[in-house]
Amino acid sequence: MSEENDKEVLFEVTEDHLDTGLRGVPVGTCRTSFVDPKKGVHYCGYPVGDLADMDPEDVIFLLFEKRLPNRQESQDFRHELAQRAARLPTGALRVLESLTPSSGHPMDWLSIGIQALGVAETTGDIRADGLNLISRMPELMATIFRLRGGRGLPEVASEPERGMVENFVHLLGMDGVDAERMTRTLRVFLVLHMDHGGGNLSTFTGKAVASGWASLYASISSAMNALSGPLHGRANQSCLEFVQRIGTSDEAEVESFVRKELAARRPIYGFGHAVLRAEDPRAAAQFKLGEEICPDDENFQTVKTLRIVAPRVLSENPKISNPNANVDIASGTLLNAVGFHKPDYYTTFFGWARVAGISAQILDERNARGGRGTPIYRPKYYAADPTIRRLE
């Protein structure tokens, strides 16, 4: 405790913290989730691994209400989401249809789609806007997948009462896939990716934009742009590409590949983390799911070997704070195994999941200070020239 004001000193900011992307500098509190460096992310106190097999709708309820629903509440909430899932407004569809199918990254489409929905549907009530957007995501996602693939708008009517993931798979209308396996994989993927504390770039960006009282849609669209970067959400796309380049599950060959990549100063995708200091429980949950849905898949065999080999090799470098598997190690492999063969779409699933967590966090910040909301974000920047700094 400092003697002056009886407040606990959480962190001493020194000059070394400047220009480090706010690394580790505390800036707020988060009610939806926290990340324990050893045990990973917890949603409202629940370790994420314990939630992995739950209905995504129940986990969304948890993030908004800070408790799990009982059976009746669960049914009511699913019904509420289904009611909110009116057909996408024509204006938003026209915006997406006007884009050239093969152009841009799918994350650009997602961000544009959310912004276009906001043009048509913003009410200004953050809770209602958040739940409306969450409920429209299955159709928005399926529309983006289909239009980009040159397959036109969904050919079947939206059936939101099926459940969010079930409706997405239904609207996607992909031939030759096992819809049950696809649904199972996406349900777990969504739950595992919904939230990760307040300071990750996309969440922080969404909340920063929202703090100026921008609309929920504008804030989430901004968050999706933040997520689209290769150092952030787009790493899950790189991971599968990396695994496919390895092309073997032989331990000695995988080790030799890892050593060559490190010698060439390239990252070992799927390993390391800015905050976690042990294997990410979200990685463990996906390995468990892989054993269930695709135990013989070649890429899955490779990531299983990588999980053994890479931490051993990365540990040789004392600079690497966490040599263990992160969330991205197996997600691309699983998505590919159930029929999503284009890695550039993987980050949109991450984005879909995060819409829930970021919306819930924006709502919490808007309700803070007795309803006045968290003040507009305004961190301090010093002049780069230290002589001017001294004059301040």
Annotation says 232 is catalytic: yes
Q: What is the spatial order of strands in the sheet that 46-47 belongs to?
A: 33-36, 40-43, 46-47
Confirm or reject binding of residue 201 to ligand AMX (CB under 6 A). Answer: no
Annotated catalytic residue, options 55, 129, 280, 328: 328
Confirm or reject binding of residue 217 to ligand AMX (CB under 6 A). Answer: no
Which C-beta is closer to ligand AMX: that of 146 or that of 193?
193
Which C-beta is closer to ligand AMX: that of 322 or that of 333?
322
Per residue in 338-365, is it b (16+ CB within 10 Å) or e — as a string? bbbeebebbbbbbbbbbbbbbbbbbbbb
Tell the smallest beta-carbon distance from residue 357 to ligand AMX (Å). 14
Find the residue with minimal CB distance to ligand AMX: 272
Confirm or reject binding of residue 269 to ligand AMX (CB under 6 A). Answer: yes
Which C-beta is closer to ligand AMX: that of 9 or that of 264?
264
Taking alpha carbons only, the member of 161, 167, 166 closest to residue 75 is 161
Which C-beta is closer to ligand AMX: that of 126 or that of 275?
275
341: its two tokens: 């063969």
Which C-beta is closer to ligand AMX: that of 85 or that of 239?
239
Confirm or reject binding of residue 274 to ligand AMX (CB under 6 A). Answer: yes
Confirm or reject binding of residue 230 to ligand AMX (CB under 6 A). Answer: no
Per DSSP, the three-state class of 43 is strand
Instruction: Please pick, from the candidates 165, 235, 285, 362, the single residue that binds ligand AMX as defined by CB under 6 A.
Output: 235
- Give the Cβ contact number of residue 99 at 10 Å: 16
Q: How far is CA 275 from CA 67, 182, 199, 236, in A?
A: 26, 31, 10, 17
Annotated catalytic residue, options 42, 170, 193, 273: 273
Confirm or reject binding of residue 343 to ligand AMX (CB under 6 A). Answer: no
Instruction: Please pick, from the candidates 112, 208, 254, 327, the single residue that binds ligand AMX as defined by CB under 6 A.
Output: 327
Which C-beta is closer to ligand AMX: that of 140 or that of 325?
325
Window of 80-88, 174-182, 265-273, 382-390 that interacts with ligand AMX by CB under 6 A: 265-273
Confirm or reject binding of residue 109 to ligand AMX (CB under 6 A). Answer: no
Window of 2-10, 130-138, 214-222, 271-279 that interacts with ligand AMX by CB under 6 A: 271-279
Annotation says 341 is catalytic: no
Confirm or reject binding of residue 242 to ligand AMX (CB under 6 A). Answer: no
Taking alpha carbons only, the member of 348, 381, 371, 364 closest to residue 114 is 348
Tell the smallest beta-carbon distance from residue 232 to ligand AMX (Å). 6
- Give the Cβ contact number of residue 92 at 10 Å: 22
Whether 271 and 325 have beta carbons less than 8 Å apart is answered as: yes
Annotation says 344 is catalytic: no
Tell the smallest beta-carbon distance from residue 205 to ligand AMX (Å). 14
Instruction: Please pick, from the candidates 271, 340, 345, 346, the single residue that binds ligand AMX as defined by CB under 6 A.
Output: 271
Annotated catalytic residue, options 108, 232, 250, 297: 232
* Contacts of ligand AMX in 293-322 (CB under 6 A): 319-322
Which C-beta is closer to ligand AMX: that of 20 or that of 98?
20
CA distance 193 to 286: 11
Confirm or reject binding of residue 204 to ligand AMX (CB under 6 A). Answer: no
C-alpha dihedral (217, 219, 222, 228), degrees to nearest 10: -80
Listed in sequence order, the DSSP H helices in the chain are: 48-51, 56-65, 71-84, 90-97, 106-121, 126-148, 164-172, 179-193, 201-211, 216-227, 235-246, 251-263, 281-293, 298-314, 328-337, 346-371, 386-391
CA distance 355 to 46: 19
Q: What one-character DSSP code corresponds to residue 47?
A: E
Confirm or reject binding of residue 59 to ligand AMX (CB under 6 A). Answer: no
Nearest 5 degrees, angle CA 143-CA 145-CA 147?
65
Which C-beta is closer to ligand AMX: that of 167 or that of 238?
238
Residue type, 142: A
Taking alpha carbons only, the member of 307, 71, 293 closest to residue 187 is 293
Confirm or reject binding of residue 268 to ligand AMX (CB under 6 A). Answer: yes
Q: Please report, as ranges, the residues that interact with ligand AMX according to CB under 6 A.
A: 235, 267-274, 319-322, 326-328
Tell me which residues are annotated as active site: 232, 273, 328
